A and B are shown apart, each in its own frame.
Chain A
Amino acid sequence: MIGLISYLAFFATMAGILAIAVLGLNLQWGYTGLFNGGVVAFFGAGAYGTMILGARPDPMLLGGFDLPWIVAFAGGILLAGLVAWVVGALTLRLRHDYLAIATFGVAVALESVVRNAQWLTGGARGMRGFPRPFEAAVGDTFLYGLVFLALVMFVLALVYVGLQRLVSAPYGRLLRAIREDEEAARSLGKNPARLRLQAFVIGSMIMGASGGLYVSYTAFISPQDMAPILTFQIWAMLIVGGAGNNRGALLGAFLIWAVWTASGFALARLAPTDWQLYSGSIQYILIGAVIVAMLLWRPQGLLPERLSIRHTETAASARTTSKGVT
């Protein structure tokens, strides 16, 4: 029984951590229409940032400053925001796919840095020895799993409520306006480039928070955690749940994580031994197929974006009048 509960807690913790990243992506893609091809870069920046600041000192490494957890966590989030600001400031005024390429590029570049900068990140060996928040106070492993789950759910709720308020405020309408018609927004005196940069940086910092929580949970990080597949998983979660709908983003995160875990189990149990080496590939194909199939057949996701009825009615009548004039 305790085994089952602690497994469920583990599952929910991981899904919750990933759901935070999906919410961050939803702000970028769902509400603002920005394609982030390197989610893992911002997740990784948050994770490594938190680790380097908060880990116990290690004579082999520059990092390990042993700062209080909350400071390290904030530092990781800021690092993710900084990376996003550099990439965004350079690309967001250009054609939309520059951002896609640059974010993909920053993920490749950061992965090669964490793999090679032995003095900073421990290279391929990774880093360990992270004092987990409240661990000393709780003591018991089983109980700690539940406490950490509560922490993740708390952060998730905080991000969710914050984003809900942000996107239902006039600011959210502004972001959607830029997504739908940049020229119109510009003609109303709005500055699309700046708003896009804000949304991009905020979304990336949320991904950084997700990475920071991940490393706080595992107390270990290696370049393996920055493998490109994470970007694909987060994207699949968002497109399945429904871009532009924060509840959809949550649903997608838990659903896809469940499918991913279950398919991993099934392959480990059922696939013949000489196929085990390739079970990763089969799972990757599954994720790719989910993304492509959703785009082909249900691009709005399970829970589509909901615009208020008044809004759509006015939009429809506006279309008819403009047609009448021409």
Chain B
Amino acid sequence: MIQALLDGILTGAIISLGAIGLTMVMHILRFANFAYAETLAIGAYVALVADRLFSALVPVFDAALAPLTLSVSLLLALVVAMAVAGASAVVIDRLIFARIRARADALSMVFASFGVALILRNVISLIFGHHPQLYSQDIAMARVLSLDPLILIKPDQVFVLMAALVLMAAFHLVLTRTTFGYALRAVAENPALAQVSGVNLKRMIVAVWLIGGGLSAAAGVFYTLTNQLTPMLGHTFLLPVFAATIVGGIGSVYGAVLGGFIVGIASGLSLMVLPSGYTPAMPFLLILAVLLIRPQGLFGEDVR
């Protein structure tokens, strides 16, 4: 029970990170972006390359920071991955979404994002192969927290949870304490009014893609730190991340964070009753439950 809860919280932190950007994009650009979760995979693979590169250039960086399997070069790679994934989100928007946005309705954007996701996922497969990859070949030993009931936790998992919380807290500070954050919230609240008040909408859209892409990349790297990486990473996280935004209410950043933890914990706990093969269906059941009971989600306001 406690073990399932613990694992659920960890997955939840990763889903939350991914859902923050998605909920902002869905609210400001008003379309469900099916290509969004691919930024998790882009981030994770960029980090894989950057990690090898840094380790080769500066061998000292390759040493794991005990008790973690994480190395300095991977930490640097994380930063690179966040930047590259954010930039790639902006580029994809420029190349495809912005052009469709200019003359078609939101559903054409949903449709296009569907195609973009398929292209991204398979380009990644072509470049890196279908086989699972790892950041570190070191075996991460789990620490026994308690023997009865048996609770195991890896130091890496603690790090991931902490790092995710730090990133979310940092974003919270940006949102509430800076002029930029204020403008961002204004755009999310009412794009037209924000523009009248002198907020540059185009620049804000770029910022949203950058932040969303960056946070998703972090989610992808954190996931890979404790699991295997395959090109299906984005596809695996797509439904959980969408479920988190719907549970939290589309447009609500805090809702997305809470929703992510709810989806993660629910999936973790479901393992106690159902075989693990059914886990991918859990987010869908949560979506159905939320739509039945409270369609606007926990913190959302507009659903029509």
Q: Give A contacts to B, CB under 8 Å.
A: 33, 35, 37, 86, 90-91, 93-98, 100-102, 104-106, 108-109, 111-113, 115-116, 228-229, 232, 235, 239, 277-278, 281-282, 284-285, 287-292, 295-296, 299
Contacts and interface: CB of A to CB of B under 8 A. Distances in A.
B111 A235 contact: yes
Nearest to B242: A101
A281 B104 CA distance: 29
A101 B287 contact: yes
Contacts of B302: 95
A237 to B, nearest CB: 13
B277 A296 contact: no
Interface in B282-297: 283-285, 287-288, 291-292, 295
B304 interface: yes
State the main secondary structure of chain A at its contact with B: helix
B303 A105 contact: no
Contacts of A115: 277
State the main secondary structure of chain B at its contact with A: helix
Interface of B: 26, 31-32, 34, 96, 99-100, 104, 106-108, 110-112, 114-119, 121-123, 125-126, 130, 235, 238-239, 242-243, 246, 250, 275, 277-281, 283-285, 287-288, 291-292, 295, 302-304
B250 A35 contact: no
B280 A109 contact: yes
B303 A98 contact: yes
Contacts, number: 138
Contacts of B288: 86, 90, 102
Nearest to B119: A288
Contact of A287 (B118, B239, B243): B118
A106 B119 contact: no
29 contacts: A33-B107, A35-B107, A37-B114, A91-B291, A94-B295, A97-B31, A97-B32, A97-B107, A97-B110, A98-B291, A100-B107, A101-B287, A104-B239, A105-B239, A105-B242, A108-B239, A109-B280, A109-B285, A113-B278, A115-B277, A116-B277, A228-B235, A232-B114, A278-B126, A284-B121, A288-B119, A291-B114, A295-B108, A295-B111
A97 B110 CA distance: 8
A108 B114 contact: no
A113 B119 contact: no
B108 A105 contact: no
Contacts of B279: 112
Most buried by A among B31, B126, B281, B292: B281
A192 B215 CA distance: 38
A282 B126 contact: yes
Nearest to A124: B277
A208 B246 CA distance: 28
Contacts of B281: 108-109, 112-113
Given A90-B292, A97-B26, A295-B108, A288 B303 contact: no
B123 A101 contact: no
A296 B275 CA distance: 43
Contact of B110 (A100, A228, A289): A100
Contacts of A287: 115, 118
Given A90-B292, A116-B277, A292 B238 contact: no
Nearest to A295: B112
Contacts of A109: 280-281, 284-285
Contacts of A281: 122-123, 125-126
A292 B107 contact: no
B131 to A, nearest CB: 10
